[in-house]
């Protein structure tokens, strides 16, 4: 079993960019007005003040447009060129990296912080494990932080989008989804802690909060003590 591939994501971003994509516009508004504020809050509160920081699966970068930079170097990483093109226009990052999140092109223990939103749920557990192992490998052991906005089984977005997907699937006669398959939503806070612990990561806290419209479990983690 594998997660949606690069081509799948390129088509997703192309479809959202089309002039007539009402969902694309709505998703962009949610990212810019709601999610970006939550990302600003958590990165300001938990990320170290200086160093290199990577959004792993950055998409268009809109969710990260409000991060306080200070002494931080912000890198956006994605394997979709379509998404990176859009991210470049938005100007959120100091650098963009086209790479696979499962094989990060960074040296061991060199990254001060890694974050992502709406990414982890697209990978089967064995792939998620590989990604978390990679995060652990590259993050600074003394103060590095991981910040994962990982949708729970029943977050607000599911309740809102599922009826539309169901209706449209019936009308067009084939399965319709707003996003590529979400095969690994988090069932609970305990599941988050256990999943991260399996990769040698210690969960600092897990929030489910109106700050991001109850869309994600927000997991703050660091490397476990040796
Ligand atoms: C649902 S989008 C989320 C994008 C962004 N974080 C946001 O809030 O809009 C998931 C992103 O992960 C990227 N992605 C999926 N699989 C990937 C992989 N194996 N390596 C790198 N990026 C990947 C996709 O191209 C897509 O941009």
Ligand 1 pocket check for 28: Cβ under 6 Å? no
Q: Is 214 in the pocket of ligand 1 (CB under 6 A)?
A: no
Q: Judge whether 1 lies within some domain.
A: no
Residue 140 Cα to ligand 1 midpoint, Å, equals: 23
H or E element at residue 157: helix 156-172
Mean pLDDT of 142-148: 98
pLDDT value for 182 = 83
pLDDT per residue as tens digits for the range 42-54: 999 999 999 999 9
CA distances in angstroms from 41 to 35, 60, 118, listed in the order given:
10, 19, 17
Structural domain range at position 25: 6-223
Residue 216: pLDDT band (50, 70, 90) is: very high
Number of domains in the chain: 1
**Would you give the distance in Å from CA 141 to the centre of its chain?**
22
Q: Which atom of ligand 1 is nearest to the CA of 117?
A: 6
Give the mean model confidence (pLDDT) for residues 125-144.
Answer: 97
Q: Is residue 97 part of a domain?
A: yes
pLDDT at 1 (0 to 100) = 60
Q: How confident is the model at residue 20 (pLDDT cuts 50, 70, 90)?
A: low
Does the pLDDT at position 31 exceed 70? yes
Q: How far is CA 60 from CA 64, 86, 91, 159, 162, in A?
A: 9, 5, 10, 24, 23
> Is any ligand 1 atom within 6 A of the Cβ of residue 113?
no
Does the residue 40 lie in any domain? yes
> What share of the chain in percent tops pLDDT 70?
92
Residue 152 lies in a domain: yes
* Residue 112 in contact with ligand 1 by CB distance below 6 A: no
Q: Nearest 5 degrees, angle CA 130-CA 148-CA 70?
A: 115
Distance 111 CA to ligand 1 centre (A): 19
* Residue 155's CATH number: 3.40.50.150
Q: What is the pLDDT of residues 91-131, one digit of tens each?
A: 999 999 999 999 999 999 999 999 999 999 999 999 999 99
Check if 184 has its Cβ closer than 6 Å to any atom of ligand 1: no
132 pLDDT above the threshold of 70: yes
Greater pLDDT, 221 or 7: 221
Q: Which residue's CA is minimally distant from atom 1 of ligand 1?
A: 118
Expressed in angstroms and rounded, the spacing between residue 226 Cα and the centre of ligand 1 is 31
What ligand 1 atom has the least distance to the C-alpha of 55?
Answer: 6
The tokens for 8 are 């799948």
Q: How far apart are CA 160 and CA 180, in angstroms?
A: 16
pLDDT band at 152 (very low <50, low <70, confident <90, very high): very high
Pocket test for ligand 1, best of 78, 83, 127 (most atoms within 8 A of CB): 78
| 211 in a structural domain | yes
Amino acid 169: pLDDT: 74
Question: 3-state DSSP call for residue 153?
Answer: coil
Identify the pLDDT of residue 176: 73
Handedness of CA 185, 190, 192, 194 (dihedral sign): negative
CB 200 within 8 A of CB 191: no
Top-confidence residue, 171 or 41? 41
- DSSP class of residue 32 equals I
The half-sphere exposure of 158 on its side-chain side, counting CA atoms within 13 A, is: 14
- Average pLDDT estimate for 209-222: 96
| Best probe residue, ligand 1, of 103, 119, 215 (max atoms within 8 Å of C-beta) | 119
C-alpha 79 to ligand 1 mean position (Å): 7
pLDDT digits (tens, 9 = 90+) for 153-202: 977 676 776 777 677 777 778 777 776 678 899 999 999 999 999 999 99
Q: Tokens standing for 15?
A: 């479809």
Output the CA–CA distances (angstroms, integers) from residue 108 to 127, 137, 138, 221, in the order listed: 20, 5, 4, 17
* Range list of H helices, 33-152: 36-46, 81-90, 125-138
């Amino acid at each position: 079993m594998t997660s949606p591939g690069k081509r799948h994501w390129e088509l997703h971003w192309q479809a959202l960019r089309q002039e007539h994509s009402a969902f694309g516009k709505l998703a962009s508004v949610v990212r810019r007005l709601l999610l970006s504020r939550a990302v600003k809050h958590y990165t300001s509160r938990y990320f170290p003040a200086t160093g290199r920081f990577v959004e792993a699966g950055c998409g268009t970068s809109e969710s990260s447009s409000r991060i306080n930079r200070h002494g931080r170097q912000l890198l956006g990483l994605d394997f979709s060129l379509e998404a990176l093109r859009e991210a470049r226009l938005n100007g959120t990052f100091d650098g963009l990296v086209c790479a696979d999140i499962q094989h990060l092109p960074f040296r061991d223990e060199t990254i001060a912080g890694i974050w992502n939103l709406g990414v982890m749920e697209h990978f089967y557990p064995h792939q998620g494990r590989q990604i978390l192992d990679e995060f652990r490998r590259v993050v600074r052991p003394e103060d590095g932080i991981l910040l994962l906005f990982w949708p729970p089984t029943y977050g607000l977005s599911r309740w809102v989008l599922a009826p539309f997907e169901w209706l449209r699937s019936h009308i067009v006669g084939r399965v319709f989804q707003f996003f590529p398959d979400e095969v690994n939503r988090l069932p609970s806070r305990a599941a988050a802690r256990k999943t991260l612990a399996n990769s040698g990561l210690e969960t600092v806290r897990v929030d489910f909060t109106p700050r991001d419209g109850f869309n994600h479990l927000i997991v703050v983690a660091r490397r476990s003590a040796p």
